[in-house]
Chains A and B, each alone.
Chain A
Amino acid sequence: MPAVVAPAPISSTDIGAVRKLEDAVGTVVRGKPEAIRAAIVALLSRGHLLIEDIPGVGKTTLARAIAASLGGTFRRIQFTSDLLPSDIVGVSIYDQSGKVFELKKGPIFANVVLADEINRTTPRTQSALLEAMSENQVSIDDTTHDLDSPFMVIATQNPAEHYGTYPLPESQMDRFLLRVSLGYPAKSIERELLKERAGGDPVARLQPVVDLAAVRSLQDSVETIRVDDALIDYAMTVIEETRRHPAISVGVSTRGALAWYRAAQAAALAGGRDFVIPDDLKALAVPCLSHRLVLAQSHDSLGRARIDGERTIAEIVNRVAVPT
């Protein structure tokens, strides 16, 4: 038997890159380390982030900060009820002078896309976005175009409003790797923010700290992160629990389990390791799984549904024995 060694292409430069990214974003988005970590995890896993929160707590700032730190492009799509798919994807316009169709790419052709208030637009538009997210390409006039790489969507939903909204059905929520909520910052942080915001836009001052090629290579490395069999058993046990829990009518799907697995790998890399530990899985259980459930009891507000889902997952994960 060969000697026991865990080979990985993770080098110290890789880990340093992630650290720099987090720090850079952290200078702008204060007091929200879990949200930043979630965003990084989503970025590294080639996944997308859903933020359910009240407006004005820093969702845009987060997305812009990430894009700036990558040295990549940032686009914001404000979803309204009359938004069309072509407004997202792009269109080819007939240029009269040149007598050719000119392709105008939509805002989805960017590295970081902020899809704001996604629950305010029609399901048809929603599905255009979601399709693009899952396939990494769009077709405009019978030609398919690849999206940029890296490509991450940060979508937001406002839980409070329910008048005139189209909340994402659970089957579509599956496409988001993680769901988080930011919430109000801590009092001390809020006071500092007020003092500092006096002078200009902090995001504009951000310099890129990682380049896109490095991010791509990091994304490749995530797949090689080592996951022990015992951890897979643990994950499967938790997934089984969600499928059998009395308060959940439909549990987490296989896609959800795969997503959780990938997210744990990314979290390990973000934590500076080339192997997954139980804490990675346990910490990501709520953000990764709570939006993939169909609860037995229907709720009238998004917020309450979110709280109930998160509480159920938390209860499960605090009951199942972690592997040692």
Chain B
Amino acid sequence: MGIWARLRRRLRPPRRLSFTREGRLIVVLSVGVGFAAINTGNNLLYLLLGWLLSFIIASGILSELTLKRLTVQRRPPPRVFAGDPFLMEVVIQNGKENRASFSIEVEDLVGTTPIDKRCYFLKIPAAKSQRTSYRHTFARRGHYTLTGYRLATKFPFALFRKSRDVDAPLEIIVYPSRVAVPRPIPRTTSRGESTADRLGRRGEFHGLRERRAGDDRRDIHWRSSARTGRLLVREYEDELARRVVIGVDNALPEDVRDAVTDGALTPAAETQVSAVERAISVAASLAASYLEIGWTVELCARGLHVAPGVGRIHEAKIARALALLPYVSDEVAFAALPPKIESVLITPRSVAASGRPAATTVMDV
């Protein structure tokens, strides 16, 4: 953090105070009573004035005490998708051992502005926690940071609202929106379905590749490994049958990219951007459905390459890469699609871009 930001944070007042309608009324009453008391000299009015002032002071002290030692945890669901509303769980914990906290509001902050979804807790007993959720939607995929949260209370008399900002960064990756894609029919399916009902047989020798975790030690080609210094294993054609490369074109013209950062999109630019988003969503869904049936998936895009892999971890990796995929100019080179492997290239309709590789299948969405 820069020195300016640090200085600003130190100078920023840790407590915020804003008067409610009742609070303003009480202040007006106090002034009125005080005026009357001084004018008439009636001591009982002084007594009332004293009570009004201590009422206000007590309110301030109590609201401060009630905000102490409260911690909030925000727990998003495992996956958040663009355009899908999700429930963000908010758990508040009362660190005080023998005092409950009443009437607490919690708001998430981005920067210094609240998200405008207030969670309200009526009572948090001592040393206990309470939970609630709020519904939110991120319209776009990407990487979001919730910088912190704001605790506020009007306790005890609703004369004013005291709030305290807490820095607690929370990163959320919003994945591309889910789209329905048809279950892919692999083109080279001469062998049938899954391996669980077959014995392990190998096809023709195809070539050497680097060893991955789980590879059989007996497949290691010792000679080549000794020569290159890396463990290489023999690869058989059988395993190639269930492998696919997914490519997606994330290029956008420069003016459109600038419009996105500025936030001012013309309708034409809007269509182009949504086309690219659709392409990315299709890519993500396609990758997920291939991986689910046990295929090996590799991902290529402009300036992005995810090595082939299987399983759930790999699916998370691909989804994350697609979630953070930026728009680039079409001069950025596409990662090379490996030959002899079935490939699907997903291109956004109405976006002209050069340098697209050839692929087995091209989906224009």
Which residues does A use to contact B, with CB under 8 Å?
1-5, 7-11, 13, 16-17, 20, 71, 146, 149, 208, 210-214, 216-217, 220
Contacts and interface: CB of A to CB of B under 8 A. Distances in A.
B200 A7 contact: no
A298 B311 CA distance: 51
Contacts of A213: 200, 216
A214 B195 CA distance: 9
B353 interface: no
B195 A211 contact: yes
Interface in B311-350: 311-313, 316
B170 A1 contact: yes
Contact of A5 (B78, B199, B214, B294): B78
A324 B30 CA distance: 56
A220 B213 contact: yes
A188 B197 CA distance: 33
B7 interface: no
Contacts of B313: 7-9
Interface string B38-77: 0000000000000000000000000000000000000111
B196 A214 contact: yes
B241 to A, nearest CB: 15
A3 B78 contact: yes
A71 B170 CA distance: 50
Interface residues of B, number: 26
Contacts of A2: 171, 173
Given A3-B80, A211-B200, 5 more contacts: A5-B79, A9-B310, A11-B294, A13-B195, A20-B196
Interface in B212-240: 213-214, 216-217
Main SS at interface, chain A: loop
B216 A216 contact: yes
B183 interface: no
19 contacts: A2-B171, A3-B76, A3-B77, A4-B75, A5-B79, A5-B316, A7-B312, A7-B313, A7-B316, A8-B312, A9-B310, A11-B294, A11-B311, A11-B312, A13-B195, A146-B217, A210-B196, A213-B200, A214-B196
Nearest to A8: B312
B78 A4 contact: yes
A20 B200 CA distance: 16
A216 B311 contact: no
A214 B196 CA distance: 8
Contacts of B173: 2-3
B351 interface: no
Contacts of A8: 312-313
A3 B172 contact: yes
A217 B198 contact: no
Contacts of A212: 200
A98 to B, nearest CB: 25
Given A1-B170, A5-B316, A213-B200, A13 B78 contact: no
B176 to A, nearest CB: 16
A213 B80 CA distance: 35
A118 to B, nearest CB: 29
B194 interface: yes
A158 to B, nearest CB: 36
Contacts of A216: 214, 216
Interface string B75-98: 111111000000000000000000
Which of A9, A71, A212 has the most C-beta atoms of chain B within 10 angstroms of its own C-beta?
A9
Given A2-B171, A13-B194, A217-B214, A71 B294 contact: no
A208 B197 CA distance: 9
B170 A211 contact: no
A20 B195 CA distance: 13
A135 B78 CA distance: 41
Interface in B176-222: 194-196, 198-200, 213-214, 216-217
A216 B214 CA distance: 8
Contacts of B217: 146, 149
A13 B214 contact: no
Closest 8 CB pairs of A and B: A9-B311, A211-B200, A5-B78, A213-B200, A7-B313, A3-B78, A3-B76, A220-B214
A220 B311 CA distance: 13
B171 A208 contact: no
Nearest to B198: A211
B258 to A, nearest CB: 31
Contacts of A3: 76-80, 172-173
A214 B214 CA distance: 10
Which of A3, A5, A220 has the most C-beta atoms of chain B within 10 angstroms of its own C-beta?
A3
B196 A71 contact: no
Contacts of B312: 7-11
A1 B171 contact: yes
Nearest to B171: A2
A71 B76 CA distance: 45
B79 A71 contact: no
B49 to A, nearest CB: 51
A222 to B, nearest CB: 12
Contacts of A208: 199
A216 B216 CA distance: 8
Contacts of B316: 5, 7
B226 to A, nearest CB: 18
Nearest to A71: B199
B245 to A, nearest CB: 21
B315 to A, nearest CB: 9
Given A9-B311, A216-B216, A16 B75 contact: no
Contacts of B199: 71, 208, 211
Contacts of A17: 196
A5 B313 CA distance: 11
A309 B154 CA distance: 64
Contacts of B213: 220
A8 B316 CA distance: 10
Contacts of B310: 9
B294 A13 contact: yes
Contacts of B172: 3
A102 B194 CA distance: 40
B242 to A, nearest CB: 12
Nearest to A11: B311
Nearest to A146: B217
